[in-house]
Copies of this chain bind each other. A is one copy, B any other.
């Protein structure tokens, strides 16, 4: 994403001529394609595509692109989304007490691995404030009180809106967001769950993994939906454990999984690599 590029994500009912139409459109505008990948889900009869071009020879605005591309899109019933690398997404991080995912994301941000802006961090605890401040990111403490959950969420949503947040990363934020909150950012809230979903969804996955005697533990990044831990899976990874490992060891080892899995999901989201449909994701590589 160092170059000045535009990335177009498209999904449409699959039919002949889609690739030719899109390629012809881009060629007619003199676009220099630097990456293109497509996928056809024959069961769902769906065509999905990601195409990225260098802006040097074709540099539309969202408006001029829309005007030019709409007729094509309409004819093929495409849903599409355009992003410019020069306009990085604005990402909010929500976190509770465990700071490993936050610390990992902020480090990647600091060394330029994540091409985004982070206008704010929201937490129901105070302990991550120092880390936020070290990275010069405004930190908002929104302590959770059960009876005031609606009110608190309203305040959080207001913060997100004021900071023009594009998407939210729950970096081990240990509160369950209300369906209304989630509906505000469809496919734009990334959560990390500390198990290999669908195994051990819900509470205390490491304890249950230990009790069941599994030989691998996992972590799963997914888009949050109103069904807890049931949203479209973006990435998963596992790690071998042994009979020597206590629950505490699983928690410790699992942190490494959580950091890696969440950071990949965030990077792919930033790079417009993810298309979500039928509660599943395509991740273009």
Interface residues of A (CB under 8 A from B): 16-17, 19-20, 23-24, 26-27, 30-43, 99-100, 103-104, 107, 111, 113, 130, 134, 196-200, 212-216, 218, 232-238, 240, 242-244, 246, 252, 255-256, 260, 263, 279-283, 285
Give Cα A79–Cα B36 distance, bound, in whole angstroms: 20
Give Cα A113–Cα B213 distance, bound, in whole angstroms: 24
Give Cα A218–Cα B238 distance, bound, in whole angstroms: 11
Give Cα A192–Cα B138 distance, bound, in whole angstroms: 35
Q: Mostly helix, strand, loop or mixed at chain A's interface? A: mixed
Given A23-B20, A39-B243, A236 and B260 contact (CB-CB distance below 8 Å)? no
Q: How far is the CB of A27 from chain B (nearest CB, A)?
A: 4
Given A35-B40, A200-B198, A243-B39, A232 and B216 contact (CB-CB distance below 8 Å)? no
Give Cα A218–Cα B280 distance, bound, in whole angstroms: 18
Can you list 17 A-B pairs with a CB-CB distance of less than 8 A? A16-B32, A19-B19, A19-B23, A19-B36, A33-B40, A36-B38, A43-B246, A99-B107, A103-B107, A197-B199, A198-B199, A198-B212, A213-B279, A215-B234, A240-B240, A256-B260, A285-B285
Give Cα A252–Cα B260 distance, bound, in whole angstroms: 12
Q: B212 to A233, Cβ gap below 8 A?
A: yes
Q: B196 to A216, Cβ gap below 8 A?
A: yes
Give Cα A19–Cα B28 distance, bound, in whole angstroms: 12
Given A23-B20, A198-B199, A216-B236, A42 and B37 contact (CB-CB distance below 8 Å)? no
Residues on B with beta carbons closer than 8 Å to the beta carbon of A27: 16-17, 19-20
Other contacts beyond A16-B27, A19-B27, A104-B107: 8, CB < 8 A: A20-B20, A99-B107, A213-B280, A214-B236, A215-B234, A243-B280, A243-B281, A244-B285
Q: How far is the CB of A179 from chain B (nearest CB, A)?
A: 21
- Quickly give the copy total for this chain: 4
9 closest Cβ contacts across the A-B interface? A213-B280, A20-B23, A199-B199, A243-B282, A19-B23, A20-B27, A215-B236, A103-B107, A134-B134
Q: Which residue of B lies closest to A30 (CB)?
A: B16
Residues on B with beta carbons closer than 8 Å to the beta carbon of A244: 39, 285
Across the interface, A242 reaches (CB within 8 A) one of B43, B103, B237, B285, namely B285
Residues on B with beta carbons closer than 8 Å to the beta carbon of A35: 40
Instruction: Kindly name the residue among A16, A38, A42, A282 whose own CB sees the greatest number of chain B CB atoms within 10 A.
Output: A16
Across the interface, A100 reaches (CB within 8 A) one of B34, B111, B234, B238, namely B111
Q: How far is the CB of A110 from chain B (nearest CB, A)?
A: 8
Residues on B with beta carbons closer than 8 Å to the beta carbon of A32: 16
